Amino acid sequence: AQSVTQPDIHITVSEGASLELRCNYSYGATPYLFWYVQSPGQGLQLLLKYFSGDTLVQGIKGFEAEFKRSQSSFNLRKPSVHWSDAAEYFCAVGSISSGSARQLTFGSGTQLTVLP
Amino acid sequence: EAQVTQNPRYLITVTGKKLTVTCSQNMNHEYMSWYRQDPGLGLRQIYYSMNVEVTDKGDVPEGYKVSRKEKRNFPLILESPSPNQTSLYFCASSLSRQDTQYFGPGTRLTVL
């Protein structure tokens, strides 16, 4: 069964600092990977996704993520955090080749606090 | 505007009183899902539907029912709600299983 681990429950960074949120997945087949962001009281918004090709993926709001198959990781990065980035971030994994129609498995989330 | 809508957004009810949370999408998407979100657990899939009249269980289906009589609608039914179903519920849809999911705004349910 596929699974996703986000090891950091809560991260605090200062505005303007760089950010890296970790995501490790477990799945035997070819994965496809997503990062979603959830602002307080809001639904989930897609930041970026990886299906195939270039392992460095650019997303919205200046975020990027790098797929590393050897490490089973898909870490999210941003070079300079803005106060508006404070939110909860979810990594999700699905399979392109699985016969199951079940779509995505989500990690437990990382809460990001941005200090002024 | 392309969107997924859910109603109600907030609901407080009592144990055993049947309720339905509606979900509707206007993007002609084939695939729809229901998730519940609980602190520390992330999102867990309750049920999903690949198309009209085709539904299947997700990871946590106990205590829930769904139906997909029309492509655009995917209601979540709690026949006899219990306090452990107090949660934040999200509906999502996508063009197909492999496409990006679009999420509704969420329904916060409290069962007393």
**Blockwise average pLDDT, block size 10, chain B, 112 residues:** 92 97 96 92 91 90 96 97 96 84 93 96
Q: Which of the pair, A38 or A103, is modelled with greater confidence?
A: A38
Quote the pLDDT of residue B69: 96
Given A43, A49, A107, which is nearest B104 (Cβ)?
Answer: A43
Round to whole Å and give the CA distance between A16 and B71: 45
Q: Is the pLDDT reported for residue A30 higher than 80?
A: no
Strands (E), chain A: 3-5, 10-14, 19-21, 24-26, 31-38, 44-50, 56-58, 64-68, 73-78, 87-95, 105-106, 110-115
Round to whole Å and give the CA distance between B60 and A92: 17
In the block, residue with structure tokens 């930041």: A47
Quote the pLDDT of residue A85: 96
Given A42, A44, A103, which is nearest B31 (Cβ)?
Answer: A103
Structure tokens at A32: 């496809």
Quote the pLDDT of residue A103: 65
Quote the pLDDT of residue B40: 84
* Chain B CB contacts of A103 below 8 Å: 31, 33, 45, 48, 94, 97, 101
Domain containing residue A99: CATH number: 2.60.40.10
- pLDDT tens-digit map of A44-100: 999 999 988 889 999 999 999 999 999 999 999 999 999 999 999 999 988 655 444
Q: Which of the pair, A28 or A21, is modelled with greater confidence?
A: A21
Round to whole Å and give the CA distance between B1 and B17: 34
Quote the pLDDT of residue A48: 94
Domain count, chain A: 1
* Chain B CB contacts of A104 below 8 Å: 45, 101
Q: Which of the pair, B68 or A42, is modelled with greater confidence?
A: B68
Judged by CB atoms closer than 8 Å, whether chains meet at A43 and B90 is answered as yes
* Chain B CB contacts of A109 below 8 Å: 42
Range of the domain at A88: 3-115
Average pLDDT over residues A4-18: 96
Quote the pLDDT of residue A102: 53
